[in-house]
């Protein structure tokens, strides 16, 4: 698969997606949005990828936002297409059915912050910065930021960021729960890959159903969400992996899961 603005490789069941426009701080133009949408559609049905790491190229930026020139040319007609495609791309990430780890190596502003929000786990460098500065352009965070950010950090803190357009550093992002952990820049991909490998060592079906349970459960009431887990656990109890996992625990060894 060859793309103009992203790089992709798979290694040991891990898919690496890299936004590759370092000369413009990896900002998202329409072509990049469409390429990201395409690669995640392919990853969804790729049996050789079970966990994804998403990052940006270069040392300065994860994704520094949307392409300002393109945004300035939008009108209510062509702007609708951009907004819908932008949201669809991030939905493909969130509802991929496989864990996606954002390795945030620098600026994550606007559409870049929204890209990180669509991922399931976020690891940032100590030099990373975050913000939803769309109000400075007279816009809203239309790529999911108005909805995912409050669900992650709470309504009050999200509204402060969304309404002021303020930029925060990695320490503050960690404090409010925007990122899972912060690491030195030189350790970012190693830490992200170690986490991916740890997830890969767990029961594959259990990982998939846990992800499904959490994401779907946030959209329905608590009683129905908990009730839905009955069907999931019954599915797992019928698998060889559960028998292997419990047997390995008793025998004090690492389980050898087969995903069935």
69 is catalytic: no
Give the residue from 56, 63, 172 showing the smallest Cα distance to 110.
63
Choosing from 35, 50, 134, 193, which is the catalytic residue?
A: 134
- Both tokens of 67, joined, read 């392409």
2 is catalytic: no
Within 10 angstroms of residue 174's Cβ, the number of other Cβ atoms is 18
Choosing from 34, 48, 94, 114, which is the catalytic residue?
A: 114
Give the catalytic positions in this structure.
114, 134
């Amino acid at each position: 698969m060859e793309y103009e603005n992203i790089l992709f490789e798979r290694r040991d069941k891990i898919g690496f997606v890299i936004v590759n426009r370092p000369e413009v701080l990896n900002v998202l133009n329409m072509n990049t949005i469409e390429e990201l949408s395409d690669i995640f559609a392919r990853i969804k049905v790729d049996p050789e990828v079970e966990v994804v790491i998403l990052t940006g190229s270069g040392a300065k930026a994860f994704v520094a936002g949307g392409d300002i020139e393109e945004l300035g040319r939008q009108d209510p007609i062509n702007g609708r297409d951009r907004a819908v495609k932008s949201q669809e791309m991030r939905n493909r990430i969130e509802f991929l059915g496989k864990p996606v780890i954002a390795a945030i190596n620098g600026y994550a502003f606007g559409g870049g912050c929204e890209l990180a929000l669509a991922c399931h786990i976020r690891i940032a460098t100590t030099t990373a910065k975050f913000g939803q500065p769309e109000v400075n352009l007279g816009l809203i965070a239309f790529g999911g930021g108005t909805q995912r950010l409050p669900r992650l950090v709470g309504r009050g803190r999200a509204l402060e960021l969304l309404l002021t357009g303020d930029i925060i550093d990695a320490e503050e992002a960690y404090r409010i729960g925007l990122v899972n952990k912060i690491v030195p820049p030189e350790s970012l991909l190693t830490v992200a890959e170690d986490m991916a490998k740890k997830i890969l060592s767990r029961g594959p079906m259990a990982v998939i159903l846990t992800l499904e349970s959490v994401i779907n459960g946030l959209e329905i009431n608590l009683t129905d969400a908990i009730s839905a887990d009955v069907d999931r656990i019954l599915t797992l109890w019928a698998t060889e992996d559960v028998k292997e996992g419990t047997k390995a625990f008793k025998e004090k060894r690492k389980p050898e899961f087969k995903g069935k």
